[in-house]
A and B are shown apart, each in its own frame.
Chain A
């Protein structure tokens, strides 16, 4: 069973629909203790980083300890940002801190008419091979909608450029994150979700 962590950040209908289509069974934990026995954790999210404040210290501890036992964790959009230490969007709110670095606002660029929020389909430029990107090729297009983004660090598996170059896919051990919305990225997005599910089913 996969835990789909719902902390009230917007609409999870699309994420649920995508996982259902891929044959996954999931539930929404109502207390941190319910994260202990799960096969995998998914932290979705749209909207504002401030909403992750609902994932307070007991939630962070429960998720961190599941991750340290090897449970795969996938963060989507704000859920990926939350894997880092924190965000300039909500400076007082702590992230999980599983990955080093801070989330920063993308720069807009009036000369090239690059608007922020970054909304639409953009390319994944692969930085290195990654399990979460199996079956895709560098340049694959996925759907983004966000104003803040993660720095390119060692964890970065693919980067995307919109005024700034930012980490659009991160992968380190059993921690995975995608800044875009795989559930709205047609075949490429479904492939990424399936790759995650395969890792969950994998050698366990």
Chain B
């Protein structure tokens, strides 16, 4: 039986892992290669590197980080953040990424999804959607959550799939870093609308939150950062908890 995936997210700035709350207030959380090594031992299923570096030298610094992490783990490795062109994607893949995650660039130019899916296969192309609740649905935000894209998350996820996306990484901006739990309603709405896997992100605080997003949220995978970074909870303990509740995991 296909297991539910637990994915560790490393928000990387200038080669170091940082973590914010609702996309603000960044704090240092460690070295990306060192954290990846620990997660691998604990049984993490995948690692995502989200580059939030704002400098011009970012591409080179990012390649170094990707390659350092890729040398530590033999697990699927996704790279996102600032991938705007084919060249950005090529550089990430060349450095050792198995998948790239597109956000703002995919909305602006959905053809990029198709181009990269043709080049590397759909399995290598994740479309990341940052969304906030609104009275009439789930609004998509771009540019690191700073501007309203005037799109609905469910509709955009469907279109991303048509353009060739292999997975959707759905982040609840309302819940990001709050540890108040995943937005299960939003995750289920998107997951039920597409036939590609949906990775839920934003809000993980307790093991119960993961169980909720895999059951009520219909998520195929769940991504978290801070719950793992500060070694408060181990990935292995989380997986055992889920298995005890009848949720299949890789142990």
Contacts and interface: CB of A to CB of B under 8 A. Distances in A.
B5 A121 contact: yes
B2 A162 contact: yes
A48 B121 CA distance: 7
Interface in B113-128: 119-124
Contacts of B220: 115, 119-120
Contact of B3 (A113, A116, A122): A122
A145 interface: yes
A185 interface: yes
A11 B2 CA distance: 24
A121 B71 CA distance: 21
A75 to B, nearest CB: 16
A43 B93 CA distance: 19
Contact of B70 (A17, A48, A116): A17
B74 A11 contact: no
B45 A120 contact: yes
Interface in A176-194: 181, 183-187, 189-190
A11 B197 contact: no
Given A184-B74, A186-B40, A121 B121 contact: no
A184 B76 contact: yes
Interface in A2-30: 9-11, 13-14, 17-18, 21
Contact of B196 (A115, A181, A185): A115
Interface string B95-112: 010100000000000000
A184 B122 CA distance: 17
- What range describes how many residues of A lie at the interface? 35 or more
Interface string A117-160: 11111110000000000000000010101100000000000000
Contact of A122 (B2, B120, B121): B2
Nearest to B94: A13
B13 interface: no
B123 A121 contact: no
Contact of B75 (A9, A146, A186): A186
B74 A114 contact: no
A113 B167 CA distance: 15
Contacts of B166: 117, 119, 145
A99 B94 CA distance: 33
Interface of B: 1-5, 40, 45, 70-71, 73-76, 93-94, 96, 98, 119-124, 166-167, 191, 195-197, 218, 220-221, 250
Given A113-B191, A161-B1, 20 more contacts: A10-B120, A11-B93, A11-B120, A14-B96, A17-B96, A21-B74, A47-B122, A47-B124, A115-B196, A117-B122, A117-B197, A119-B166, A120-B3, A121-B3, A121-B250, A141-B3, A143-B45, A184-B74, A184-B98, A186-B73
26 contacts: A9-B121, A10-B120, A10-B124, A11-B98, A13-B70, A13-B96, A14-B96, A17-B71, A46-B124, A47-B121, A47-B124, A117-B166, A117-B196, A118-B2, A119-B197, A119-B220, A120-B2, A122-B1, A141-B3, A143-B45, A145-B166, A184-B75, A185-B74, A186-B74, A186-B75, A189-B74
